[in-house]
Structure 1
Amino acid sequence: MTPDLLLAHGYFLYEDPKELQIMKPYAPLGILYLCSHLQAKGFDVEVFDTTFSSKAALIERLQTGTPSTLGLYANLMTRSNIVELLRIAREAGWRTIVGGPEPGAYAKEYLDAGAEFVVLGEGELTLEELMTAIRSGGLDQIGKIDGLAYLENGELRQTQPRAQIKCLDDQPWPARKMVNIQKYVDTWRTHHGKGSVNFITARGCAYRCQWCSHQVYGNTHRRRDPLLVVDEVEWLLSEYQPDMVWVSDDVFTINHTWLRTYAAEMKRRGLRIPFECISRADRLNEEAMDLLAELGCFRVWIGSESGSQRILDSMQRGVKLDQVQRAVELSKTRGIESGMFLMWGYEGEELEDIEATIKHVSRTQPDIFFTTVSYPIKGTPYYKKIQDDLIQLAPWGTSSDREIKIRGRHSRRYYSFADKLLRSEVALARMREINTSDEQEIGRLAEEVRNARTGLIDAAAEVEA
């Protein structure tokens, strides 16, 4: 039987060399929420989970199955796959819809690439109305559906913005039975010794960091009832028996009253599961950290981004360096690992800002830290600020925003030296903190620091474009 809608995404784990090294996949909750919503409204929806499949298998499904409507979730990392799938689907006679965090910023490009409709923002209600119109043949009234983009005589048309769902508790849980969740758990367990599942307690982030995309949920934050979240957690633990969970919220600890109620209900039901989450330093005080520890949090990710207060202020991060340092200290005293995200190359960054970041991380000593070179995502204030200096070397459909070059910015080699300097300085500070007597290792790290700093200075005149 041909479904009303086939939902898929463009993430193919086994075809991504980097992801094969990481092997930490999670179920695509976005399309599973869409699926459960539409099924509750009477639509026949099928999910093709590409994570453990192949592009060839999905293409075969599109080319040999009876054409219906295809809905694809796209983000900046899956753009090229989605563009290819849209073309193939249209050639095979499918109606095509695309949504997710990237298409809203590139509606015309996705429509030109083969999408018939682009869902803008939160998808459930828009997709419900669109599927109703498709099923009834009422596409002549398409302009009355909020949250939609389409082409009319080759020109882009965008309808009124879609109002967001007021009460998330009215939405059904993600349709996890439509995919093989156990395979996600087993993949984690095979490669990391612990099986994991994911869930959300909220949608959106109300903060206004200049580089962060808010295409789907805008600058809003809506929370689910904590008792109903515990219902879902209890079911997940019973159904899949994971060893840990990932709370997929943008900022888990925004509302301390909510967190307090959630922790109390988990305790009342005798539920405790190791988990990791993302937060902000300004939303991590002693009480919040105590609650995280009580709940079983083993790692909290803190978006430090930079060790330069000047750069943080330019990002409109809304966080002070001493708050980040305090948050890491609080996590250590409670046995919770701290993870830190850092960003090189933000607009206006100078050598002194890089040195400040190195000093900040060396002093703070998070358990884990990751770095990236900043990239402008279309639709963000950061993108708009520097768009006149952006250079796209590869065709849009085969590249991503991460590959855009910024005229006049330091070269990637420069930032590779910044990375080496950071890691060597942090390791050296850690050695000295534990008062080690391994003078040979200290000497080796000191030499790495000197070489990295020399390389950084020597590469300062190099630009990426």
Structure 2
Amino acid sequence: MAELLLTHGYFLYEDPKELQILKPYAPLGILYLCSHLRKQGFDVDVFDTTFSSREALFTHLRTETPSVLGIYANLMTRSNVVETLKVAREAGWKTIVGGPEPGAYALEYLQAGAHYVVFGEGELTMQELLEAFRAGDVSSFASISGLAYLDSAGNMHETEPRSQIADLDSQPWPARNAIDVGRYVKTWRDAHGKGSVNFITARGCPYKCRWCSHQVFGQTHRRRDPLLVVDEVEWLLQTYTPDMVWVSDDVFTINHKWLRDYAAEMRRRGLRIPFECISRADRLNAEMLDLLAELGCFRIWIGSESGSQRILDSMDRGVKIEQVQQAVAMSRERGIESGMFLMWGYEGEELDDIEATIKHVSISKPDIFFTTVSYPIKGTPYYKKISDRLVQLKPWGTSSDREIKIKGRHSQKFYSYADKLLKDEVQLARMAGTPAAESDAAASLRREIQLARSGLHSTRMEVEA
């Protein structure tokens, strides 16, 4: 039996929404953890839940000789992780949780069954924990940085924060051989005609958006050597023969010199693979978009969030509306699709701001756009600002931060009208200047827009209780 079993709480086949999307990616976080600990001489296995079931995981925990269980938890997997902790504790496992969410809810996870919560990057903290377990030295836990635990009286103790790993090139590649990456590629290919894999070139995001969590990597930006990244890309292409890749960085185009060096090395080796990535409008210019196009970028995701400059400024986004519109236009000129993330309901948003967002997207005409109603993630400035208006409708262990209601905010019905109005206005804008603009379909769309705008105005006084 391995010294450590790593797992996570994402069950693809138990999530109807994820089954509709069918775009799973390998859990790089626990695979990086696995490779680091294996390099240090620890016996580590991974139970990849993506294509498994909770019953299979629970049976494994109940029937195998218990050792140490490490679970990655995020905002969407909380309830699955809490249930897994209960089963593991009852079966005699030592339990550890880490990831984006446990740092903000350390006490809750400890009370739900975790023996330890790991803050931030887990590699070095887990290494020291396992060394302490091997030595049987309980007293040393208090000196391990980046940790929280309960004492015998149920009081939480939190050790000193751990410094981030400065040299990412010293870390081994994620242990993809610990899971069936080929199944991820096949799932993609069967559903979409193209198989995909993922990798990262950097850790962290230095920007200060008030609603965004920095629990794991902090407000840092640490990059790997571009030549070493190309080594990994070349290996991925040879090993899994994907049709495309996903660059999982928070913001791929932050460092322009790095991107130049990366593109030059890809060019030198004759490597090119279609890919998509996330960027910021203020980190895109003609040169960078030319490089992205050369590298094979077919879609770039831009966090627009709002079409109201007032709201963007209140979010501390550090981006101008015009920059977003220009980035979308420049991408289009190079044959790169643009995707846009948008957020309704941020603190202080009014009808005028919603109309500004609709106008902004109608002018920009991105190829794809997604909306969400803003939700407060614990530990962020946004959460702290509105904490006195938050209403937890379900028990913590069976819900997520996405389900917290904000007293005094517009109703879900209001935002559904905003979604409808946005979709129809953008569709009409796309017809402009074509024969379709004078068609019966366009006339019907204009009527739908009137109804949606009427609905938006009639529900503006409906608020969350």
**Interval containing the TM-score (normalised by the shorter chain):** over 0.9
Q: What is the alpha-carbon distance in structure 1 between the residues aligned to residue 285 and residue 211 of structure 2?
A: 25
Contact 2:7/2:49 (8 A) holds in 1: yes
Amino acid at match of 1:60: T
Q: 2:205 — aligned with what?
A: 205
Q: Are 1:92 and 2:110 counterparts?
A: no
Q: What is the alpha-carbon distance in structure 2 between the residues aligned to residue 401 and residue 39 of structure 1?
A: 34
Q: 1:258 — aligned with what?
A: 258
Counterparts of residues 353-432 of structure 1 (less than 5 Å): 353-432=353-432
Q: What is the alpha-carbon distance in structure 1 between the residues aligned to residue 38 and residue 236 of structure 2?
A: 20
Q: What is the alpha-carbon distance in structure 2 between the residues aligned to residue 433 and residue 22 of structure 1?
A: 33
Deviation of 1:135 (Å): 1.4
Secondary structure at the counterpart of residue 370 of structure 1: strand
Q: Structure 1 residues 340, 145: CA separation in 2 closer, same or farther (over 3 Å shift)?
A: same
Q: 2:217 — aligned with what?
A: 217
Deviation of 1:138 (Å): 1.1
Q: 1:110 — aligned with what?
A: 109
Counterparts of residues 252-331 of structure 1 (less than 5 Å): 252-331=252-331
Secondary structure at the counterpart of residue 436 of structure 2: coil
Q: What is the alpha-carbon distance in structure 1 between the residues aligned to residue 56 and residue 464 of structure 2?
A: 38
Secondary structure at the counterpart of residue 298 of structure 2: strand
Q: What is the alpha-carbon distance in structure 2 between the residues aligned to residue 463 and residue 81 of structure 1?
A: 31
CA deviation digits over 1:75-102, x for unaligned, max 9? 0100000000001100000000000000
Q: What is the alpha-carbon distance in structure 2 between the residues aligned to residue 166 and residue 201 of structure 1?
A: 14
CA deviation digits over 1:185-211, x for unaligned, max 9? 000000000000000000000000000
Counterparts of residues 159-174 of structure 1 (less than 5 Å): 159-174=159-174
Amino acid at match of 2:164: Q
Q: 2:339 — aligned with what?
A: 339
Secondary structure at the counterpart of residue 432 of structure 2: helix
Q: Structure 1 residues 445, 437: CA separation in 2 closer, same or farther (over 3 Å shift)?
A: closer
Q: What is the alpha-carbon distance in structure 1 between the residues aligned to residue 433 and residue 373 of structure 2?
A: 29
Q: What is the alpha-carbon distance in structure 1 between the residues aligned to residue 433 and residue 95 of structure 2?
A: 58
Q: 1:145 — aligned with what?
A: 144
Amino acid at match of 1:101: P
Contact 2:411/2:462 (8 A) holds in 1: yes
Misfit runs of 4+, over 2 Å = 433-438
Amino acid at match of 1:188: W
CA deviation digits over 1:334-367, x for unaligned, max 9? 0000000000000000000000000000000000
Amino acid at match of 1:79: R
Q: What is the alpha-carbon distance in structure 1 between the residues aligned to residue 341 and residue 104 of structure 2?
A: 25
Q: Are 1:63 and 2:66 counterparts?
A: no
Q: What is the alpha-carbon distance in structure 2 between the residues aligned to residue 449 and residue 213 of structure 1?
A: 36
Q: What is the alpha-carbon distance in structure 2 between the residues aligned to residue 455 and residue 135 of structure 1?
A: 64
Could you tell me which runs of 5 or more consecutive residues in structure 1 were left unpaired when the two chains were aligned. Answer: none
Q: 1:232 — aligned with what?
A: 232
Q: Structure 1 residues 302, 296: CA separation in 2 closer, same or farther (over 3 Å shift)?
A: same
Q: What is the alpha-carbon distance in structure 1 between the residues aligned to residue 12 and residue 180 of structure 2?
A: 14
Q: What is the alpha-carbon distance in structure 2 between the residues aligned to residue 424 and residue 139 of structure 1?
A: 62
Amino acid at match of 2:77: T
Q: 2:133 — aligned with what?
A: 134
Counterparts of residues 25-104 of structure 1 (less than 5 Å): 25-104=24-103
Q: Structure 1 residues 437, 446: CA separation in 2 closer, same or farther (over 3 Å shift)?
A: closer
CA deviation digits over 1:285-316, x for unaligned, max 9? 01110000000000000000000000000000
CA deviation digits over 1:255-292, x for unaligned, max 9? 00000000000000000000000000000001110000
Q: What is the alpha-carbon distance in structure 1 between the residues aligned to residue 283 and residue 166 of structure 2?
A: 24
Secondary structure at the counterpart of residue 454 of structure 2: helix
Contact 2:118/2:125 (8 A) holds in 1: yes
Deviation of 1:433 (Å): 3.9
Q: What is the alpha-carbon distance in structure 2 between the residues aligned to residue 224 and residue 98 of structure 1?
A: 26
Q: What is the alpha-carbon distance in structure 2 between the residues aligned to residue 182 and residue 139 of structure 1?
A: 41
Q: What is the alpha-carbon distance in structure 2 between the residues aligned to residue 22 and residue 125 of structure 1?
A: 35
Contact 2:3/2:43 (8 A) holds in 1: yes
Deviation of 1:438 (Å): 4.6
Identity of counterpart residues, as a percentage? 73
Secondary structure at the counterpart of residue 375 of structure 1: coil
With the length of structure 2 as denominator, give the TM-score of the two structures.
Answer: 0.99
Q: 2:181 — aligned with what?
A: 181
Q: What is the alpha-carbon distance in structure 1 between the residues aligned to residue 428 and residue 194 of structure 2?
A: 31
Q: What is the alpha-carbon distance in structure 1 between the residues aligned to residue 434 and residue 123 of structure 2?
A: 53
Q: What is the alpha-carbon distance in structure 2 between the residues aligned to residue 386 and residue 459 of structure 1?
A: 22
Could you tell me which runs of 5 or more consecutive residues in structure 2 were left unpaired when the two chains were aligned. Answer: none
Q: What is the alpha-carbon distance in structure 2 between the residues aligned to residue 435 and residue 157 of structure 1?
A: 68
Q: CA RMSD in A?
A: 0.6
Secondary structure at the counterpart of residue 46 of structure 1: strand
The number of residues matched between the two structures is 464
CA deviation digits over 1:112-151, x for unaligned, max 9? 0000000001110000001110111012110100000001
With the length of structure 1 as denominator, give the TM-score of the two structures.
Answer: 0.99
Q: What is the alpha-carbon distance in structure 2 between the residues aligned to residue 433 and residue 237 of structure 1?
A: 43
Amino acid at match of 1:146: S
Amino acid at match of 2:211: W
Contact 2:201/2:249 (8 A) holds in 1: yes
Deviation of 1:434 (Å): 3.4
Q: What is the alpha-carbon distance in structure 2 between the residues aligned to residue 33 and residue 127 of structure 1?
A: 12
Amino acid at match of 2:409: R
Q: What is the alpha-carbon distance in structure 1 between the residues aligned to residue 251 and residue 444 of structure 2?
A: 39
Secondary structure at the counterpart of residue 47 of structure 1: strand
Deviation of 1:424 (Å): 0.4
Secondary structure at the counterpart of residue 436 of structure 1: helix
Q: What is the alpha-carbon distance in structure 1 between the residues aligned to residue 81 and residue 438 of structure 2?
A: 52
Q: Structure 1 residues 455, 171: CA separation in 2 closer, same or farther (over 3 Å shift)?
A: same
Amino acid at match of 1:140: S
Q: What is the alpha-carbon distance in structure 1 between the residues aligned to residue 412 and residue 233 of structure 2?
A: 43
Contact 2:428/2:437 (8 A) holds in 1: no
